Structures are given as C-alpha cells and as structure tokens.
Amino acid sequence: MSAKIYRFESKAERLKRAQALATDVELLLAEGERAVPYLLTGLREGDPDLQRVCAIALFSWHKEAALEPFYQLMADPARDADLRDQLAVSLSVIGRHHGLPEWLMERLIGDLESPDSTLRGLAATVLGWEGNTEAIVPLLPRLFDPDATVRLQAATALADIEDPRVLELLLDRLEHSADEERMGLMMSLHLFQDERAFQVVLAQLDYPNAEVRFHALAYLCTFFADRSEINEGCLRLLNDPDPRVRQLAAKDLGRRRVASAEKPLQAMLEEVDMETRRVALVALQQIRGERPVSEWD
C-alpha cells in the first residue's frame, strides 16, 4: 500500500495564501473552514497590514475561531499598537452580538488589574458593550486608575454598557476630572440622553479651559441640537477669548437662525481674524435667510 504524500508549505507560501484569502471574499467563502489556518498564520506572523486584513476576515466570517488568537495578540505587548486596538474593538463587537465565553470574560476582568496600563485599557474597551452588566463592578475601580487614558477607557466602557445606574458615577467623575479626561467623558455621556448629563455639560461652557468649552459646545450642538438653552450659551461664547469657540458658537447660531445673534455677529465682522469674519458673515446670511443653514463653504 502506497504512503500518502503531504506537500510542505513554506511560511512565505502560507502568508501569500493568507493574503489572497483575506482580500478575495469569493475565494474566502469558497474555501470555508479550510481558510482559517491560513488566516491565523497571517494574523500571527504577517506584517501589520496583513495582520489587519486577516483580522477583518476572521472577524467577518470565522468569529468563533478568532476569539482565542484575537485575545492572545491583543494581550501581547510586543504586537503593533493599532492591531491591538483593532482586536479589542472586534472582541467587543463580538461580545455585543454573541456574548463572550466564560473563560474569556474571566481573563478580561482579570486584566483590569494588570500592572500593564495598556492591557487594563484594552480590557476595558472589550468589556464595554450594551447590556454587559457583569462588567460594571470590575470596571468601577478603573475610573480612579492612576493612568488617565485607562480612566477614560473605563468611563467610555461603562457608558457603552448603557446602564442608568452608571450615569451618576460618570457625572461625578466628570466634575472631578482633569481637562483632557473631562472632554472624553463629555462625549461618552451622549449615550444616556439624560437631563442631568445635559445640565452638567451645559455648565462646562463656563469652564476656564478653552478646549473644554469648545468640546462642551460641540457635544451640545451635536446631541442636544433641539434645546433652546444652548442659544444663551452660544450668544455668551461669541465673546469668548478663543477664536475656535467663537466660530463654533457663531455657526450654531447661524444654523438655528437665532435673530438675537445678529448684533454680536455684526460686531464680529470687525475682528482681525479672517476665518472668524467669514464664519460670522455666513451665520448672518443664514439668519437673514440669504444662505442655506447647511452651507458652510
């Protein structure tokens, strides 16, 4: 009886096959489960570009096979930072739609206590999906993590879980946070669409840091565009010392066609900054009905 001969494939051949499979959907579907070993090779041993496309292919078509290698590579500090972020987000999306196995949940919750701040933040990112109430208690200590980035990632994860019990904690954290963290926390609050969140962010329009004022106004104009209380804040911010804040306030008043803004906008036409003058002119034309509210070119 003759022995069966198996052809050996070199690493280069396996990577080439992984590239073909990851970039050709028809070929990937035709190969089915046979594609998985090649995609895993590309994910583990390819260059960063190949790793990313293999991760997308595995995420799209072979989620169950992707869980363990995704976690292993995400947790590996030697791997490309962008790839680790991509894998964390992919795992979170899988969790949102399909849940994650108990072994992986246990590892992620354990990683929240890791001495590696990057891994703590990545674990928080994975755990932040709607309805994942199991992660609320383990995530809470990370709101006070020594690393500011981890604090923000934990706050975002808790907001993404969308449990109303979390809102009070995030609002309290915002009130006691540093400027950069404060801006990130504001953006995470939009998931709640809550009156308390609105009032807390509205108060940030008077915050000393111009970047915080700018982000607070951007948040309000994006997520609470129908609230008339924003008009008063915008009118006040037309005199803000920062030109970016003045311009954003003028744009919103123009979009809203707030008639009481005409006089201060007219005064802005005398400013030295050319872009501020341009924005003020467009806003005036919008208020007077001479220009569409959506037009800013």
Query: Concatenated DSSP letters for 125-171?
Result: HHH--TT-GGGHHHHGGGGG-SSHHHHHHHHHHHHHHT-HHHHHHHH
In this structure, the answer to whether residues 49 and 126 fall within a common structural domain is no
DSSP for 10-73? -HHHHHHHHHHHHH-HHHHHHHGGGGHHHHHHHHHHS-HHHHHHHHHHHHHH-HHHHHHHHHHH
The answer as to whether 51 is a domain residue is yes
Q: Give yes or no: residues 93 and 57 share one domain.
A: no
Q: Is residue 134 part of a domain?
A: yes
Residue 9 main-chain phi, psi, to 5 deg:
-105, 130
Residue 28 lies in a domain: yes
Asked, for residue 145, whether it belongs to a domain, the answer is yes
Final residue of a structural domain among 136, 161, 186:
161
The answer on 154 and 130 residing in a single domain is yes
**Residue-number span of the structural domain to which 146 is assigned:** 71-161
Q: Determine the Cα–Cα distance for residues 117 and 73; give it in Å rounded to an integer.
A: 16
Is the domain of 17 the same as that of 38?
Answer: yes
Query: Is residue 223 assigned to a domain?
Result: no
End-of-domain residue from the set 43, 61, 79:
61
What pTM was estimated for this model as a whole?
0.72
The answer to whether residue 233 is domain-embedded is: no
Domain end residue (candidates: 161, 183, 212): 161
Indicate whether 57 and 78 sit together in one domain.
Answer: no
Domain contains 212: no
Task: Indicate whether 33 and 100 sit together in one domain.
Answer: no
Q: Name residues whose C-beta falls within 8 Å of residue 183's C-beta, 6 or more positions apart in sequence.
A: 211, 212, 215
Check whether residue 54 and residue 80 sit in a common domain: no
82 and 154 part of one domain:
yes
Whether 80 and 126 share a structural domain:
yes
What is the three-class DSSP state of 13?
helix
- Asked if residue 278 belongs to a domain, the reply is no
Measured CA to CA, the distance from residue 247 to residue 34 in angstroms comes to 56
| One domain, residues 112 and 156 | yes
User: Residue 105 maps to which CATH number?
Assistant: 1.25.10.10
Per-residue pLDDT of the chain (297 residues; tens, 9 = 90+): 455 544 568 888 899 999 999 999 899 889 888 999 999 999 999 998 999 999 999 988 878 888 999 999 999 999 999 999 999 999 999 999 999 999 999 999 999 999 999 999 999 999 999 999 999 999 989 988 999 899 889 988 998 898 888 888 888 888 888 888 888 888 778 777 788 888 989 999 999 999 999 999 998 988 888 888 899 999 999 999 999 999 999 999 999 999 999 999 999 999 989 999 999 999 999 999 988 877 654
C-alpha 118/C-alpha 77 separation (Å) is 8
Q: Domain total for the chain?
A: 2
Contact between 210 and 180 under an 8 Å Cβ cutoff? The reply is no
